[in-house]
């Protein structure tokens, strides 16, 4: 699964990289430890253009009776995305990009769980493949999303048995295109990202608490020997 990530690139850099209009009036703030139930920056295709908006992380399907279901739906498995009732309708009409600079994963060790920060070797921001929905009850409206996961690449395999589905830049348009309805092709985009284009770094357990949202969450604490020893 993927339960934490970061997005600290500037607003201008993100708009230049992903070519979207940002309609929110909220001041842009860098985030270093984004956790489920918090707001994440996502891009949807709004009829004629890419639109950036904040969505709550943890999908609340439109048919849900209680918004608490969102805590169980922070991730969607790519293998069953066209089968599960929470996701199968969204794959055709409500796909989104969830923007990030990196994500965290925990490796089980004899001394406990060691967090790792994983990012692109280029240091550039990227997009997770996601799904979104709009839930309404009484006078409450919540737009929420889930992050799709897939099998791990070699870089991730020794840490965890899942990794987020990161789209290549040339795949992002297809993922957002509402006219594209070929589910087999869409699922083919949800594959492990090439390990040679990623790096991982052991970091402080400061990231364990979502209350800690600061650059120190990403501070390296030593050399990574897992990639070569497993």
**What are the sequence ranges of the domains in the chain?**
4-218
The question of whether 105 is a catalytic residue gets the answer: yes
pLDDT at residue 118, as a whole number:
97
Active-site residue, from 2, 96, 145, 217: 2
Beta carbons within 8 Å of 155's beta carbon, 6+ residues apart: 118, 195, 198, 199, 200, 227
pLDDT at residue 182, as a whole number:
94
Spans of the chain, pLDDT less than 70: 23-27, 223, 225-230
pLDDT at residue 1, as a whole number:
75
Active-site residue, from 96, 105, 145, 217: 105
Q: How far is CA 82 from CA 25, 65, 77, 134, in A?
A: 35, 22, 10, 19
Superfamily of domain 4-218: SOS response associated peptidase-like (3.90.1680.10)
pLDDT at residue 46, as a whole number:
84
Beta carbons within 8 Å of 200's beta carbon, 6+ residues apart: 116, 117, 118, 119, 155, 156, 159, 224, 227
Q: Model pTM?
A: 0.94
pLDDT at residue 28, as a whole number:
78
pLDDT at residue 202, as a whole number:
96
The question of whether 2 is a catalytic residue gets the answer: yes
Which token pair is 31? Answer: 């985030």
């Amino acid at each position: 699964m993927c339960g934490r990530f970061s997005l600290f690139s500037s607003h201008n850099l993100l708009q230049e990289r992903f070519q979207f209009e940002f309609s929110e009036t909220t001041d842009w703030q860098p985030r270093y430890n984004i956790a489920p139930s918090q707001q994440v920056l996502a891009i949807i295709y709004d009829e004629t253009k890419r639109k950036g908006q904040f969505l709550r992380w943890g999908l609340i399907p439109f048919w849900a009776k209680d918004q608490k279901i969102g805590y169980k739906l922070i991730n969607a498995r790519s293998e069953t995305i066209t089968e599960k009732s929470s996701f199968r309708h969204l794959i055709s009409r409500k796909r989104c990009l969830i923007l990030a600079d990196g994500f965290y994963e925990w490796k089980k060790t004899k001394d406990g769980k060691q967090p790792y920060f994983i990012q692109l070797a280029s240091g550039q921001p990227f997009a997770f493949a996601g799904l979104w929905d709009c839930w309404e009850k009484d006078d409450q409206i919540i737009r929420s999303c889930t992050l799709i996961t897939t099998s791990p690449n070699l870089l991730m395999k020794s840490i965890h048995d899942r990794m987020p589905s990161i789209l290549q830049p040339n795949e992002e348009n297809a993922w957002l295109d509402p006219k594209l309805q070929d589910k087999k092709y869409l699922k083919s985009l949800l594959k492990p990202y090439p390990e040679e284009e990623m790096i991982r770094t052991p970091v402080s357990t400061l990231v364990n608490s979502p209350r800690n949202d600061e650059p120190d969450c990403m501070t390296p604490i030593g050399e990574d020997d897992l990639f070569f020893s497993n």
